[in-house]
Amino acid sequence: MNTRKTILNMGLAFSEEKVLKKFSKLASEGWMLKEAKFSKYIFEKSDPDELVFNTDMRVLETESEKEEYIEMFEVGGWNYICSINSIHYFSSKKGNVSMFTDTDTNVEKYLESISICKKAVIITLPIVSISVLLDVLNITKDLNEVILNFQFLITLLSIALLIPSSMTFIGLKLRVKKIISNNK
Amino acid sequence: MARKKALDDDILTDSTYYILVSLVKENHGYKIMQEVKELSKGSVEIGPASLYTILKKLITAELIRLVEQTEDRKKIYVLTIKGIDILKKDIKRRELMLKIGKNAISDL
């Protein structure tokens, strides 16, 4: 029997709650989250356990800062699992204190990511819009091929950035909205 | 976000209030969770992510400061003069709220 299992990582922007519930389900079936990678989550065979999972998003600049951070969570009953892109995964026994106990700090978790996505959209949306507009209005058709290729490349890169950024932005904004309305 | 200015307005959330109370004397950051639970007789619990975030904000706002780290490199914090002042102000605010409520209820 395999001692390792993998599931796809579809990102947390839209489905964080579902993903965390899935981790709990797998843990109760004897599969413990071990590692988070860009495209997948890796689980290892373990004793079945009733666990809850959560993430915190935070930039930890130094090793000593990370040590202090992890220790605070461990003292609070949240065991560190792994990190990817400043997203830190933890598990705790059911019934333990919540990772976030007030709305403000729960919302703040997402603010840095929302801000980064917003900046990306602000830069790429105009580029894509103007480029498409120029093409639609046939303004650029007589230009030098080199410039046209350059325009095409820039537009392509911008779209490649715009789509995930805007989707993540919307997903996180919805998540924040839900947290605030859950706590009213 | 209005709440980001909470510290400037001297209106503290309950979590922040209890954290400041537990730092009137020097204390280890990680011990605050247990202490707040005890002080509030279990009615207020602070989660690690919330605690970590609030501690960072309090340091930035200079309401608490880092004391010399002990040999085992565990961080110890304590209120600054400004922090003591803000806490006193919020205690007064809460006392007033309490008084108003008690007066209203006593008429029932």
Query: Which single residue is written with the structure tokens 């619990």?
Result: B45
For the segment A87-126, what is each residue's pLDDT rounded down to a tens digit? 999 999 999 999 999 899 999 999 999 999 999 999 999 9
Q: Give the minimum alpha-carbon distance from A42 to chain B in angstroms, rounded to a whole number.
A: 24
Determine the Cα–Cα distance for residues A104 and A106; give it in Å rounded to an integer.
5
pLDDT average, residue stretch B63-75:
80
pLDDT tier for residue A2 given thresholds of 50, 70 and 90: confident
How far apart are the C-alpha atoms of B86 and A165, rounded to whole Å? 40
Does the structure show a pLDDT above 80 at B68? no
**Token duo for residue B88:** 């006193």
Query: Looking at A79-83, A126-130, A174-178, B104-108, which range is the least confident one?
Result: B104-108
CB contact under 8 A, A76 and B48: yes
Residues of B with CB under 8 A from a CB of A: 1, 3, 6, 13-15, 29-31, 33-34, 45-54, 73-75
Indicate the range of A140-149, A166-175, B29-38 predicted with least confidence.
Answer: A140-149
With CB atoms and an 8 Å threshold, state whether B52 touches A72: yes
Whether chain B has a CB inside 8 Å of the CB on A98: the answer is: yes
Q: Which residue has the higher pLDDT, A1 or A183?
A: A183
Given a cut of 70, is residue B43 above it in pLDDT?
yes
When the pLDDT of each residue in chain A is averaged and rounded to a whole number, the result is: 91
Residues 6 or more apart in contact with residue A90 via CB below 8 angstroms: A53, A54, A55, A56, A73, A78, A79, A80, A81, A99
Span A5-9, average pLDDT? 89
Tell if the CB–CB gap between B47 and A98 is shorter than 8 Å. Answer: yes
Per the prediction, chain B carries an average pLDDT of 87
User: In chain B, which residues have their Cβ closer than 8 Å to the Cβ of A56?
Assistant: 49, 52
| Band of pLDDT at residue A3, cut at 50, 70 and 90 | confident
* The 3-state secondary structure of A143-174, one letter per residue: CCHHHHHHHHHHHHHHHHHHHHHHHHHHHHHH
User: From the list B49, B73, B75, which residue is nearest A105 (CB)?
Assistant: B49
**Do the chains contact at B15 and A102, CB–CB below 8 Å?**
yes
Query: For residues B21 and B41, what is the distance between their CA atoms, to the nearest angstrom?
Result: 14
Residue B1 has pLDDT above 80, yes or no: no
Q: Which residues of A touch B40 (CB under 8 A)?
A: none
Residue B6: closest CA among chain A residues belongs to which residue?
Answer: A104
Tell me whether residues B33 and A97 touch, CB distance under 8 A: yes
pLDDT band at B71 (very low <50, low <70, confident <90, very high): low
User: CB atoms < 10 A from the CB of B93, how many?
Assistant: 14
Across B28-32, average pLDDT:
91
Q: Which residues 6+ apart lie within 8 Å of B94 measured at CB?
A: B17
- CA separation for the pair B7, A102 (Å, rounded): 15
H-state helical runs in A29-144: 63-75, 103-136
C-alpha distances (whole Å) from A164 to each of A19, A52, A82, A159 are 19, 28, 23, 9
Does residue B4 have a pLDDT over 70? no
**Which of B12, B19, B33, B50 is the mutation pick for testing A, counting most A CBs within 10 A?**
B50
Q: Which residue of A has its CA nearest to B14?
A: A102
Residue range A10-55, pLDDT digits in tens: 888 888 999 999 999 999 999 999 999 988 999 999 999 999 999 9
